[in-house]
Structure 1
Amino acid sequence: MASTMKGAGIFLAQFAGDTAPFDTLGGIAAWAAGLGYDAVQIPTFDSRLFDLEQAATSQAYCDEVKGTCADAGVAISELSTHLQGQLVAVHPAYDLAFDAFAPARVHGDPAARQEWAVDQMLKAARAARNLGVDTTVSFSGSLAFPYLYPWPQRPPGLVDEAFAELARRWRPILDAYENEGVDIGFELHPGEDLFDGTTYERFVAATGNHDRALINYDPSHFLLQQLDYLGFIDLYHDRICAFHVKDAEFNPTARQGVYSGYADWTGRAARFRSLGDGQVDFAGIFSRLCQYGYNGHAVLEWECCLKSSEHGAAEGAPFIRRHIIKATDKAFDDFAGGDADPAKVRKMLGMSA
């Protein structure tokens, strides 16, 4: 059944900083509300805005966080655990790069880093419940992504084992979220082992079709893969629990295509843009999500290779509000209808009364 989205949200991760108003939750929430956003998606990995340790153990702290947001005029749409989820599974090729996402005490120790990440994920489940938030968004991490392109040939069983291990690591986390009544919306993203519908299905099957392994829908990553992002909603709408509104463009040339030749962001054929500046069909997306009953927030995730973050944020809320469809509660041709009359129906069909 069609439904109306809750409103425009904004993911705070790309806007947090060391100067006011971006260095405190109260300050950045008030800034977001002033731009017209109804909700904020809070990064649990940024201590300037949120203390995950306290949130997991203190209802009083969570009440304070909710009060801070309410006083600013915004709700909490979701908690984000993208960086911690990334560290649940890290291929050794990425060890040095991803150490930056974890505390210094676990750098150079992949096992300790993974243990820390799992603990963070479990704490986020409790924090969400303490906040009264039913949804979190995250990354899956990656064991197989370095072998994405099948050359050199992958040995038989490599991908199957990678997803089996990924499921073994995530299943206890998903069970903990089930116990708290909280969903994880995985953002399907290149660099993660879950980056499209096929990989998502493989992972969900490996977890025993876990009810809490859902999707944070972000069309920008699908456009850059040249995936049918509207058809994706048709296939997986019942698994979409969160929505990142992010634009992108793909402009292949004689020199580069999807892989973009290691170019920087401005020089890539495939690049992220601010809302309305790219190629994503948001009218089609909002229509389909309305049709299938998505009733969460539409959350701006700003990433643009050209436009400033504050400019993008200022344009984002009105762009989202223009696209949210207020679902109808009646059919357009109801005026021409009449009361049910079984005898008349049978007569119209050429059947005896």
Structure 2
Amino acid sequence: MNWAYCTNGFSDHRLPEALAILADLGYNGAAITLDHGHLDPYAAGSAHEVALIAKRLGALGLGAVVETGGRYTLDPWRKHHPTLLDDDAGAAQRADLLSRALRIAADLGAPVVHLWSGVRPAEVPEAEAWARLVRWCERLLDEADRVGVTLGFEPEPGMLVADLAGYERLRRLLGGHHRLGLTLDIGHCRCLEPYDVPECVRRALPYLAHVQIEDMRRGVHEHLEFGAGEIDFPPVLAALDGYRGLVAVELARHGHAAPEVARRSIDFLRRAYERAGVDGAGRTAGEGRP
């Protein structure tokens, strides 16, 4: 497994420092959340900073993906606003951020940009919300094709595209576009999917571009440290065997203790992977052998 950590969990650290800590702890990569403190896509001189971070990633031997879930990146008053489901002016703001993220990802050598649909505005009928999402995704997929980066679309509880069924619907509406991958959040599978978590992983595997991981409880959308929720991780990691992208710990609200939380997280995941007993061909120990 290529363990990674989301930099939104290191918001009190400078990005180069956070990357160095992750490398020292043995992580293989970073899921870099574009925001005011880390690679602000609207800051003057951002291209120079991106070049420096690309060099830093190379020196540390870290892979990367680009995430776009900063809470107040576009609107200082409203979290995750505007979205692709808003009116043309608001949706264009979100699309501009995502286009910048695609170009930054290309410059970093990151193969994936993560995104989500947003919450459907109360005044927008569901059919119109889906039409808006498809229209803007078509434009973004054109840009993704131009720069050679995949969009990793994340189903998010409470949003228009909330679950795997919603992602599959969007994929059909976009003609199964080869640049529309899936960002699977393992905690979300426990939170709201009607299947057990390993089954969700197996269903998602054909589309996986990026994985986020943390513990969670049924019906409660709260990202928890490993062991504080209800997920049995060895079967989940066994189901993920064969996936070669990043598996990124997402604990955005744990930045006050980021180095120790990151240390505990990778230790837990390594132990869980060992307990999974996967042999590299998708089999648990003893399976398929005489």
Give the residue type in structure 2 aligned to 1:36: G
Question: Displacement of 1:211 after TM fit?
Answer: 2.0
Give the residue type in structure 2 aligned to 1:298: V
Q: Residue 129 of structure 2 corresponds to which residue in structure 1? A: 162
Distance across 2 between alignment mates of 1:278 and 1:110 = 38
SS at the partner of 1:295?
Answer: coil
Distance across 2 between alignment mates of 1:132 and 1:328 = 28
Distance across 1 between alignment mates of 2:61 and 2:21 = 10
Question: Displacement of 1:236 after TM fit?
Answer: 2.4
Matched, 1:25 2:45: no
Structure 2: unaligned runs, 5 residues or longer: none
Q: Residue 223 of structure 1 corresponds to which residue in structure 2? A: 190
Distance across 1 between alignment mates of 2:109 and 2:45 = 12
Distance across 2 between alignment mates of 1:234 and 1:191 = 23
207, 210, 223: which one aligns with 1:272: 223
Distance across 1 between alignment mates of 2:165 and 2:44 = 35
> Within 5 A, what are the aligned runs for 1:252-267?
258=219
Question: Displacement of 1:200 after TM fit?
Answer: 1.3
How big is each residue's C-alpha offset from its partner over 1:297-340, in whole Å with a ceiling of 9 and x where there is no partner?
Answer: 211111579x955542220111222344561599979997xxxx
Question: Displacement of 1:241 after TM fit?
Answer: 0.9
Distance across 2 between alignment mates of 1:125 and 1:43 = 13
Q: Tell me if the contact between 2:9 and 2:253 (Cα under 8 Å) persists in the aligned partners.
A: no
TM-score, scaled to structure 2: 0.81
Which one has the largest radius of gyration? 1
Matched, 1:120 2:97: yes
Matched, 1:49 2:30: no
CA separation of 1:242 and 1:214: change in aligned 2, threshold 3 A? same
Distance across 2 between alignment mates of 1:317 and 1:183 = 26
Matched, 1:242 2:216: no
7, 18, 38: which one aligns with 1:12: 7
Question: Displacement of 1:173 after TM fit?
Answer: 0.7
63, 87, 105: which one aligns with 1:76: 63
CA separation of 1:309 and 1:203: change in aligned 2, threshold 3 A? same
Matched, 1:302 2:255: no
Question: Displacement of 1:62 after TM fit?
Answer: 3.8
Q: Residue 321 of structure 1 corresponds to which residue in structure 2? A: 270
Q: Residue 200 of structure 1 corresponds to which residue in structure 2? A: 167
Distance across 2 between alignment mates of 1:202 and 1:127 = 28
Give the residue type in structure 1 aligned to 2:93: W
Question: Displacement of 1:192 after TM fit?
Answer: 1.8
Q: Tell me if the contact between 2:23 and 2:62 (Cα under 8 Å) persists in the aligned partners.
A: no
Residue identity over aligned pairs, in percent, reads: 22
Distance across 1 between alignment mates of 2:146 and 2:101 = 13
TM-score, scaled to structure 1: 0.68
Give the residue type in structure 2 aligned to 1:41: A
Q: Pairwise CA RMSD of aligned residues?
A: 3.6
Give the residue type in structure 1 aligned to 2:174: T
